[in-house]
Structure 1
Amino acid sequence: MIRKTGPILLGVAGFEVTPTGSDRCVVTWWESVHLAGPLPAAWTRPPLGVLLRVMMRVGLRRLARVIEDD
């Protein structure tokens, strides 16, 4: 588990790796974060979740391209 205590993000994140075969696995990433600052976490968590999902999709697509090129 990673605890986020920075000046922008607060919360926790982590991942689990589960083998599904001799050469495959499933990685599950989870986060519960909100913006630090004067606004309540309940207000910042939903839009931040959308942003983080978009960032994760972009990162995974880039990783897939690197893996396919090898």
Structure 2
Amino acid sequence: MATVVLRRDVPAPAGRVWQVATDWPRHGASVPFTHVVVTHDAGGTGTRFTGRTRLGPWTVDDPMEVVLWRPPADADTDQPGLPGRCVVEKRGRVVLGWAALDVLPLGPRRCRMVWTEDVEIAPAAWTGWAAPAVRLASRAVFGALLRRLAQDAVQEHVSSRGDGS
């Protein structure tokens, strides 16, 4: 498997970041050539969605299911709340593995997102051969995704406050 771990500190509350980062269709706006559709909204564990990536005549569906859903507990004080964790299993014919999103409150208006992606390409024998390329592509794609999600969360937090602070 090809594993990538990315971290990003965000100047917004963990709850807001969680809402933005687990808005699955929003991911399609940041992942190139990809559109994300929720196929079953269970409001957490059991939610299923598919990322469809299209490059010219080639299309790859990446169906996923949320298997763990624990939103963060925001702190109303300077003490951090409890971290949030979401784990998604990839259930496709070509792309397998899992992804985890951890949102760690660092105070009432700051948090850290940690994205861990563990990808296997079917057939499994291809994963070892393709791992370096998959890691490189994953770093670029998911790094851009985290930047975009962080920007969106900060913008939404500022907008909700109305005072720009």
Correspondent of 2:96 among 1, 10, 13: 10
Aligned residue for 2:128? 42
Unaligned runs of 5+ in 2: 1-86, 160-165
Report the CA distance shift for 1:13/1:38 in structure 2 as closer, same or farther (over 3 A).
closer
3-state SS, counterpart of residue 42 of structure 1: helix
Letter of the 1:42 counterpart: G
TM-score (norm 2): 0.36
Q: Rg: which structure is higher? A: 2
Deviations 1:2-34 (A, max 9, x none): 111212211111111110011110010001112
Displacement of 1:54 after TM fit? 0.6
1:1-70 alignment to 2 at 5 Å?
Answer: 1-37=87-123, 39-63=125-149, 64=151, 67=155
Q: Which amino acid aligns with 1:31?
A: E
Q: Matched residues in 2 for 1:15 and 1:46: separation?
A: 22
Identity score, percent: 31
Q: TM-score, normalised by structure 1?
A: 0.74
Aligned AA for 1:12? Answer: W
User: Structure with the greater relative contact order (CA < 8 A, sep ≥ 6): 1 or 2?
Assistant: 2
Letter in 2 for 1:29: W
Higher helix share: 1
The code of the aligned residue for 1:18 comes to: L
- What is the deviation of 1:60? 3.6
Q: How many residues align?
A: 70
Q: Deviations over 1:40-59 (max 9, x none)?
A: 42222221111011112333
